[in-house]
Amino acid sequence: MLDASGATIPVVDDERLDRLIREGQASAGMIAKLLACRAAGRGQVDEIRIVDGRRRGALDDDMQTAATRVTACGRRRSRR
């Protein structure tokens, strides 16, 4: 996920996800991906990574390269 200047957004939480959609920074297919991330976050998924799959080896290099982490969107965490 890129910001308005074309730089990778390193982390997206629920608030930023809403802002990206509302302000038009995310469009079409990216909106669908972000909403799918939110749905997964409301389940048992703690973190999702959005990686440019067009680049060969992107999944293998994910930890060292630019990727956007979507973190536990929408999940209510228990306070134990």
CB atoms within 10 A of CB 76: 7
pTM: 0.71
Alpha helix segments (H runs only) across 1-80: 14-22, 28-42
Give the pLDDT band (50/70/90) at residue 72: low
Q: What is the chain's mean pLDDT, rounded?
A: 80
Q: How many Cα atoms within 13 Å fall on the side-chain side of residue 9? A: 20
Tens of pLDDT, residue by residue over 30-71, are: 999 999 988 988 888 888 888 877 877 777 765 666 678 887
